[in-house]
């Protein structure tokens, strides 16, 4: 076994590898960029080496710097994690040429599966069922559309070198093909340096099921059963589970046999994931999509239901050892879910969020695991993806695991930046999800998951009380003439607190009484009493019931949690006024601004064009996702202030629109 390895990754990925290496007695070296100087993975590793500026292309993707770092600390092997260089055949070769061990498959296996078009041809030869489509070399728009027309709509455009949903577009009808092709090719060129695409038949209710495989250098290949990764947004996974709901032993045998055949066809060594797609509730007809030649983000659910440490297996195999277990020794036990907690706002088109984590917590428990590279006070950077952490929950069966997941999500909390916790909690409680009726269009088919619903009187009472107590603390010990508590001769008048949520001003009245207050919101009025307060945690009695909630104060922002739901609210003070309403993300009236730092990918209008409110004007790439920025008002494009490729800061002016006559 190795004595020291270098981990060529960051965040929760690096932390995950470090945890197993430490348990095995293997020393670890981490690498970090300028943005990660104080990141958790640098603190957990035995040592850490600086490799460059914040952008990944200038640090984590610099092959020569990674290898130089490994040599400088005497590492014998490099673990690429997942993402970044993990499926880069040139990197695997460079590691081997440097006399180091690449903890992953051989470069030839990465190459065989790296191009999705060639991989599908190879899989057909190996007898693995493949989705109908076009994988040819001709890449002109006319040829591609011709094949799409022949396959029949809807079709899926996929980047040949793609991954993580990038360079992928669903096309419903022929009239939309050209626009989606241009978008997919542009994103593919930006992300992978190659704009080649393939065309696949799009299944109307696709299930995304993948099989974990492992192979050693002695000719042994096994599977570790399947995972269902169908709950997705923008082709990126949201909640994964193992095993797949509705899977029969007959279909499992056929699917796992196909996965092993795929691995053997490319002389695979190490951890790999063979991804299949099936139609809705009928898993009998499944098709090969691609093979990820690395460990997957969702591997913890497989660990939970097999009791195995997949990173330990990776290290053993890379060290030349045989597989720790053969197929008949691997058992499937129980059920597990993984929910990806991301710094994004689903109600605003999944807009990524950056900033400092004021609070991040999930409940402790024997069936709960958190994989994360973040803690309170850490910064979520614009330079990398939006994943904060992965909540993994197990149980005796699917119902048991799902019940535990719902409770764990309801008790989890993020403050300081927006998160998708509300979406996750709602999805886990949706009847179709609870009964296993899921597919990749699940979120789109359940729009209530994304609804922005304001707090009720409980939430407003908590917010007003927190601000009232804050005011009292600020006034403590000051002159009574300087106090701003609304006291007056003849008795105190109610203090009216104003809060803005989703562009609406909510006025909440608090009237001091002998014991507590009387809170009034709209036409509701209830007695309010503070039962207990511990930092940002409150227990209140409202009417004849008690409620527990959290209020985190961040300048004028209030991060509120009551029960399983969380809100971001703007405090306007005791005499507040509602702010200007923003009609679109990044658009106020005749000005379109950048909602976050990023790179301009494309501009879809010209100066002088007449545009309608809501019309997409340009696309911005940030945190590994593309975002459409639309006009907030109808009118004429007066000025375009950026060009494709420009890096812009949050709030930068992008397009000016003159109101129509």
Residue 111 has pLDDT above 80, yes or no: yes
Could you tell me the CATH number of the domain that includes residue 605? 2.40.50.100
Instruction: Kindly state the tokens that stand for 492.
Output: 């105190």
Same domain, 53 and 145: no
> In the listed set 412, 435, 450, which residue is the last one of a domain according to the structure?
450
Q: How far apart are CA 88 and CA 82, in angstroms?
A: 11
CATH number for the domain spanning 37: value is 3.40.50.20
Pairing of strands 101-102, 77-79: parallel
Q: Say how many C-beta atoms besides its own lie within 10 A of residue 439's C-beta.
A: 23
Distance CA 285, CA 279 (A): 7
Are residues 226 and 273 both part of a single domain? yes
Residue 389 lies in a domain: yes
Q: What is the pLDDT of residue 578?
A: 42
For the chain, give the percent of residues with pLDDT over 90. 75
- For the domain that residue 424 is a member of, what is the CATH number? 3.30.470.20
Q: Is 589 exposed, middle or buried (0-12, 13-18, 19+ CB in 10 A)?
A: middle
d(CA 321, CA 568): 51
Q: What is the pLDDT of residue 583?
A: 40
Asked if residue 126 is part of any domain, the answer here is: no
Check pLDDT > 80 for residue 576: no
123 is a domain residue: no
pLDDT in tens, 437-453: 999 999 999 999 998 89
Question: Does residue 294 have an active-site annotation?
Answer: yes
Residue 620: what pLDDT?
87
Has residue 113 been placed in a domain?
no
Residue 67 reports pLDDT greater than 50: yes
Tokens representing 25 are 């007695």
Res. 129: pLDDT tops 60 = yes
Say what the pLDDT of residue 144 is. Answer: 96
Which DSSP state fits 13? H
Give the Cα separation of 437 and 359 in Å (integer): 34
| CA 631, 635, 640, 643 torsion-angle sign | positive
pLDDT attached to residue 584:
42
On whether both 255 and 281 belong to a single domain, the answer is: yes
- Picking from 573, 596, 612, the residue at the C-terminal end of a domain is 573
Same domain, 525 and 476: yes
Looking at 425, 450, 475, which one is the last position of a domain? Answer: 450
Asked whether residue 253 falls in the same domain as residue 300, the answer is yes
Average pLDDT over all residues of the chain: 91
Helix (H, G, I), strand (E, B) or coil at 66: helix
pLDDT reported for residue 595: 79
Q: Are residues 196 and 212 in the same domain?
A: no
User: Pick the residue with more confidence: 34 or 120?
Assistant: 34
pLDDT at 661: 52
d(CA 549, CA 510): 18
pLDDT of residue 579: 43
Q: Does residue 360 sit in the same domain as residue 318?
A: yes
**Residue 545 confidence (pLDDT):** 97
For residue 111, CA distances in Å to 89, 570, 617, 652 come to: 6, 51, 38, 41
CATH number at residue 143: 3.30.1490.20
Active-site residue, from 10, 40, 294, 404: 294
Range with the lowest mean pLDDT among 467-476, 492-501, 542-551? 467-476
Q: Where are the alpha helices (DSSP H) in 126-265?
A: 141-151, 177-192, 249-265
**Contact partners, residue 199, CB within 8 Å, separation at least 6:** 133, 134, 144, 147, 148, 151, 155, 156, 157, 158
Same domain, 463 and 445: no
Contact 497, 468 (CB under 8 A): yes
pLDDT number for residue 84: 93
Classify residue 445: in a domain, yes or no. Answer: yes
What pLDDT, on the 0 to 100 scale, is given for residue 199? 95
The count of domains in the chain is 5
Distance CA 506, CA 515 (A): 25
**Whole-number Å distance between alpha carbons of 31 and 52:** 9
Distance CA 310, CA 485 (A): 60
Instruction: Report yes or no on 269 lying in a domain.
Output: yes
Residue 111 within any structural domain of the chain = no
For 67, phi then psi, to 5°, come to -65, -40
Respond yes or no on whether the N-terminal peptide bond of residue 243 is cis (omega within 30° of 0).
Answer: yes
pLDDT of residue 585 exceeding 60:
no
In angstroms, the CA 199 to CA 156 distance is 6
Share of the chain above pLDDT 70, in %: 94
- Residue whose token pair is 């999930």: 362
For residue 30, is it within any domain? Answer: yes
Which of 204, 208, 212 has its CA nearest to residue 240?
208
Which residues, other chains included, contact 217 with Cβ-Cβ below 8 Å and sequence gap of 6+?
Answer: 269, 317, 320
pLDDT at position 156 over 90? yes
Residue 512 has pLDDT above 80, yes or no: yes
At residue 276, the pLDDT reads: 95
Q: Alpha-carbon distance 606 to 162, whole Å?
A: 30
Of 234-243, 386-395, 480-489, 634-643, the one with minimum mean pLDDT is: 480-489
The structure's pTM equals 0.83
**Which segment of 174-188, 308-322, 377-391, 585-599 scores lowest on mean pLDDT?**
585-599
pLDDT of residue 396 exceeding 80, the answer is yes
Pairing of strands 355-356, 379-380: antiparallel
pLDDT-based confidence at residue 507 (cuts at 50, 70, 90): very high
Instruction: Write the Ramachandran bin of 614: left for phi over 0, alpha for psi from -120 to 50, otherwise beta.
Output: left
Q: Tell me what the mean pLDDT of segment 34-62 comes to.
A: 96
Average pLDDT over residues 506-526: 94
| Domain housing 166 | 132-201
Do 556 and 624 lie in one domain? The reply is no
279, 263, 280: which is closest to 271 by C-alpha? 263
Order of strands, sheet of 647-648, starting from the edge strand that comes earlier in the sequence: 625-630, 616-622, 598-603, 647-648
Task: State the pLDDT confidence band at 280, using cuts at 50, 70 and 90.
Answer: confident
Domain shared by 183 and 211, yes or no = no
Looking at residue 117, its pLDDT comes to 80
Q: Is the pLDDT of residue 185 over 90?
A: yes
Mean pLDDT of 259-287: 93
Instruction: Please report which confidence band the pLDDT of residue 478 belongs to, taking 50, 70 and 90 as the band edges.
Output: low
Tell me what pLDDT residue 660 has.
67
pLDDT confidence band for 571 (50 / 70 / 90): very high
**Strand, coil or helix: what is 537?**
strand
- Residue 221 shares a structural domain with residue 254: yes
Which has the minimum average pLDDT: 195-199, 366-370, 581-585?
581-585
- How far is the C-alpha of 245 from the C-alpha of 336, rounded, in Å? 11
* Together in a domain, 506 and 593: no
């Amino acid at each position: 076994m190795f004595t020291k390895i270098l981990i060529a990754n960051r965040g929760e990925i690096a932390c995950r590898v470090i945890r197993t290496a430490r348990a095995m007695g293997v020393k670890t070296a981490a690498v970090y960029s300028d943005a990660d100087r104080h990141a958790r993975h640098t603190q957990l590793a035995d040592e850490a080496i600086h490799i460059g500026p914040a952008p990944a292309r200038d640090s984590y993707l610099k092959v020569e710097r990674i290898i130089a770092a490994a040599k400088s600390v005497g590492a014998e092997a490099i673990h690429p994690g997942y993402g970044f260089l993990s499926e880069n055949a040139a990197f695997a070769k460079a590691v081997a040429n440097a006399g180091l061990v690449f903890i992953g498959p051989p470069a030839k296996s990465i190459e065989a599966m790296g191009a999705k078009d060639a991989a599908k041809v190879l899989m057909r030869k190996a007898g693995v069922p493949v989705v109908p489509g076009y994988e040819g070399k001709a890449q002109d728009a006319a040829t591609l559309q011709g094949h799409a027309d022949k396959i029949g709509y809807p079709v899926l455009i996929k980047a040949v070198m793609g991954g993580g949903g990038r360079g992928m577009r669903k096309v419903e009808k022929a009239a939309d093909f050209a626009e989606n092709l241009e978008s997919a090719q542009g994103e593919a060129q930006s992300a992978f340096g190659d704009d080649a695409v393939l065309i696949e038949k799009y299944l109307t209710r696709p299930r995304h099921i993948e099989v974990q495989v492992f192979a050693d250098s002695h000719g042994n290949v096994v599977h570790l059963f399947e995972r269902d990764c169908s709950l997705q947004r923008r082709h990126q996974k949201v909640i994964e589970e193992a095993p797949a709901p509705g899977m029969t032993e007959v279909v499992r045998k056929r699917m796992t046999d196909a996965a092993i055949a795929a691995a053997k066809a490319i002389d695979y060594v190490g951890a790999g994931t063979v991804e299949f797609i099936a139609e809705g509730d009928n898993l009998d007809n499944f098709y090969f999509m691609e093979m990820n030649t690395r460990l997957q983000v969702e591997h913890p659910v497989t660990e939970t239901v097999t009791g195995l440490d997949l990173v330990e297996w990776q290290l053993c195999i890379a060290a030349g050892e045989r597989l720790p277990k053969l197929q008949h020794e691997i058992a499937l036990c129980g059920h597990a879910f993984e929910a990806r907690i991301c710094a994004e706002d689903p109600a605003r088109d999944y807009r990524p969020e950056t900033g400092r984590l004021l609070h991040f917590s999930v409940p402790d428990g024997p069936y709960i695991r958190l994989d994360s590279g973040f803690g309170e006070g850490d910064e979520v950077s614009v330079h990398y993806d939006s994943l904060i952490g992965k909540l993994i929950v197990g149980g005796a069966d699917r119902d048991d695991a799902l019940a535990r997941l719902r409770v764990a999500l309801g008790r989890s909390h993020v403050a300081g930046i927006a998160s998708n916790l509300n979406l996750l909690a709602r999805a886990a409680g949706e009847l179709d999800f609870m009964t296993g009726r899921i597919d990749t269009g699940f979120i789109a088919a359940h729009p209530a998951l994304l609804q922005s619903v304001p707090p009720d009187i409980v939430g407003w009472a908590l917010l007003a009380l927190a601000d009232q107590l804050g005011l009292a603390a600020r006034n403590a010990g000051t002159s009574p003439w300087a106090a701003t508590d609304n006291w007056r001769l003849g008795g105190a008048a109610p203090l009216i607190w104003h809060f803005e949520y989703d562009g609406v001003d909510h006025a909440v009245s608090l009237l001091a009484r002998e014991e507590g207050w009387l809170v009034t919101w709209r036409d509701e009025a209830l007695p309010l009493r503070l039962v207990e307060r511990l930092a940002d945690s409150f227990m209140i009695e409202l009417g004849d019931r008690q409620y527990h909630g959290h209020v985190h104060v961040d300048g004028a922002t209030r991060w509120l949690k009551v029960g399983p739901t969380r809100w971001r609210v703007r405090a306007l003070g005791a005499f507040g006024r509602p702010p200007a309403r923003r009609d679109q993300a990044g658009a106020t009236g005749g000005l379109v601004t950048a909602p976050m730092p990023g790179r301009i990918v494309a501009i879809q209008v010209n100066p002088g064009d007449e545009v309608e409110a809501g019309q997409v004007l340009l696309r911005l790439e940030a945190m590994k996702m593309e975002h459409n920025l639309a006009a907030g008002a109808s009118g004429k494009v007066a000025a375009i202030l950026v060009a494709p490729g420009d890096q812009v800061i949050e709030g930068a002016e992008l397009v000016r629109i003159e109101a129509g006559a």
